[in-house]
């Protein structure tokens, strides 16, 4: 049995007459730290022809991301295994979903209300503020007791009360 790896990005996915398809590049993986992969060919194929698709995309999860999950769902309906199920990706924001496991996380507030953020900060005195749709450490702020920047940070992250953000109590070991 020959295993073929196909590489594609969101922009390569499309639907035609309800069929999920993609422009893919065949990926050749090598045991070489200097040059560990190469693309050896291109093709356009139905996603249903693939056995497995691994879906991994960094935020933001915008409408383009949502559309891509719908396309992948069409392939899933035809029997292709989609690792990171499209419906679950839409349902479970990776930061917000931690609320279902609050016994395993630091005390957390999700709000877009500046007064609630201030009260949370006053209660805990050392907190982390972050956007729900960020990645790679972008726009993550530590706000310590007496920090004069809480107001501007809250306004920036919530875009003046129009977007939710997350505040978490910093564990005492820091």
Q: What is the pLDDT along the chain (174 residues), one digit of tens a residue?
A: 667 899 999 999 999 999 999 999 999 998 888 999 999 999 999 999 999 999 888 766 788 989 999 999 999 999 999 999 999 988 887 788 888 999 999 999 999 999 999 999 999 999 999 998 877 788 899 999 999 999 999 999 999 999 999 999 998 765
Q: What is the CATH number of domain 96-169?
A: 3.30.1490.20
Among the four given CATH numbers 3.40.50.20, 3.40.50.300, 3.20.20.70, 3.40.50.720, the one describing domain 5-91: 3.40.50.20
Residue 76: which H helix or E strand, with range? helix 63-77
The three-class DSSP label of residue 32 is coil
Nearest Cα residue to 75 out of 92, 58, 60, 55: 55
What are the extents of the domains in the chain? 5-91, 96-169
pTM, entire model: 0.72
Q: Is 162 exposed, middle or buried (0-12, 13-18, 19+ CB in 10 A)?
A: exposed
């Amino acid at each position: 049995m020959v295993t073929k790896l196909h590489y594609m990005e969101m922009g390569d996915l499309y639907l035609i007459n309800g069929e999920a398809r993609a422009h893919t590049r065949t990926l050749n993986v090598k045991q070489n730290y200097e040059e560990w992969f190469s693309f050896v060919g291109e093709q356009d194929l139905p996603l249903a022809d693939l056995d497995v698709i691994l879906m991994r995309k960094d935020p933001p999860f915008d409408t383009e991301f949502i559309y891509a999950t719908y396309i992948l769902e069409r392939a899933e309906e035809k029997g292709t295994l989609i690792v990171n199920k499209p419906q679950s990706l839409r349902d479970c924001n990776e930061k917000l979903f931690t609320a279902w496991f609050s016994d395993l996380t630091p005390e957390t507030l999700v709000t877009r209300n500046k007064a609630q953020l201030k009260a949370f900060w006053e209660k805990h005195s050392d907190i982390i503020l972050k956007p729900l749709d960020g990645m790679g450490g972008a726009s993550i702020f530590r706000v310590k007791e007496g920090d004069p920047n809480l107001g501007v940070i809250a306004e920036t992250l919530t875009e003046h009360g129009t977007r939710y953000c997350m505040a978490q109590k910093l564990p005492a070991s820091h």
